[in-house]
Amino acid sequence: MTRSPLLDVDELSVAFTRRRRRDVQAVDRISFSLDEGRITGLVGESGCGKSVTSLALMGLLPARGVRVGGTARFRLGGGGEADLLALPPARMRDLRGSEIAMVFQDPLSSLNPVVPIGRQVAEVLTRHRGVKGAAARDQAAELLDRVGIPDPGRRLREYPHELSGGMRQRALIAMAVACRPRLLIADEPTTALDVTIQAQILELLSGLVAEEGTALLMITHDLGVVAGLCDEINVLYSGRTVEGAERHELFAAPTHPYTAGLLGSIPRLDAPRDEPLTPVRGTVDDAIAWDDGCAFAPRCDRFADDCLGGPPPMRERGAGHRFRCLHPTEPAPGEESEGR
Partner 1 sequence: MLRFITRRVLTAVPTLFGLSVLLFFWVRLLPGGPEYALLPEDASAEQRAALRRTMGLDDPILEQYGRFVLQLLQGDMGTSLQTGRPVLTEFLIKFPATAELAAMAMLFAVAIGIPLGYLAARRRGGPLDALAVGGSLLGICTPVFFLAFVLKLVFAEQLGLFPSAFRQSPGLDATRITGFFVVDGIATREWDAAADALMHLVLPGLALSSIPLAVIVRMTRASVIEVLGEDYVRTAEAKGLHRGTIRTRHVLRNAMLPVVTAIGLLSGSLLAGAVLTESVFAFGGIGEFIYAATQTRDYPVLLGFILIIATVYVLINLLVDISYSLLDPRVRVS
Instruction: Tell me the angle at which helices 117-129 and 133-146 cross, rounded to the nearest 10 degrees.
Output: 110
Residue 126: CB minimum distance to partner 1, A:
9
**Judged by CB under 8 A, which of 11, 24, 60, 86 binds partner 1?**
60
Residue 124: CB minimum distance to partner 1, A:
5
- Cα 306 to Cα 28, 76, 283, 294, 327: the distances in Å are 21, 45, 22, 9, 10
**Judged by CB under 8 A, which of 95, 201, 208, 307 binds partner 1?**
95
Residue 210: CB minimum distance to partner 1, A:
23
Query: With helix as H, strand as E and coil as C, how does the chain read?
Result: CCCCCCEEEEEEEEEEEECCEEEEEEEEEEEEEECCCCEEEEECCCCCCHHHHHHHHHCCCCCCCEEEEEEEEEECCCCCEEECCCCCHHHHHHHECCCEEEECCCHHHHCCCCCCHHHHHHHHHHHHHCCCHHHHHHHHHHHHHHCCCCCHHHHCCCCHHHCCHHHHHHHHHHHHHCCCCCEEEEECCCCCCCHHHHHHHHHHHHHHHHHHCCEEEEEECCHHHHHCCCCEEEEEECCEEEEEEEHHHHHHCCCCHHHHHHHHCCCCCCCCCCCCCCCCCCCHHHCCCHHHCCCCHHHCCCCCHHHHCCCCCCEECCCCCEECCCCCCCCCCCCCCCCC
Q: Which stretch binds partner 1 (CB under 8 A): 9-17, 99-107, 207-215, 315-323?
A: 99-107
159 is a contact residue toward partner 1 (CB under 8 A): yes
Residues between 127 and 156 with contacts to partner 1, criterion CB under 8 A: 127-128
Residue 94: CB minimum distance to partner 1, A:
6
**Judged by CB under 8 A, which of 25, 40, 53, 110 binds partner 1?**
110
Question: For residues 327 and 269, is the Cβ–Cβ distance under 8 A?
Answer: no
**Judged by CB under 8 A, which of 9, 26, 57, 124 binds partner 1?**
124
Residue 93: CB minimum distance to partner 1, A:
5
**Judged by CB under 8 A, which of 4, 23, 24, 93 binds partner 1?**
93
Q: Which is nearer to partner 1, 176 or 225 (CB)?
A: 176
Q: What CA dihedral angle connects 225, 46, 241 and 248, to 10 degrees? A: -10
Q: Which stretch binds partner 1 (CB under 8 A): 10-18, 43-51, 112-120, 132-140?
A: 112-120
Q: Which is nearer to partner 1, 11 or 162 (CB)?
A: 162
169 is a contact residue toward partner 1 (CB under 8 A): no
For partner 1, how many residues bind (rule: CB under 8 A)? 29
Residue 185: CB minimum distance to partner 1, A:
9
52 is a contact residue toward partner 1 (CB under 8 A): no
106 is a contact residue toward partner 1 (CB under 8 A): yes
74 is a contact residue toward partner 1 (CB under 8 A): no
Residue 222: CB minimum distance to partner 1, A:
20
**Judged by CB under 8 A, which of 18, 161, 268, 281 binds partner 1?**
161
56 is a contact residue toward partner 1 (CB under 8 A): no
109 is a contact residue toward partner 1 (CB under 8 A): yes
Q: Which is nearer to partner 1, 16 or 159 (CB)?
A: 159
Binding site for partner 1 (CB under 8 A): 58, 60, 93-98, 101-102, 104, 106, 109-116, 123-124, 127-128, 159, 161, 172, 175-176
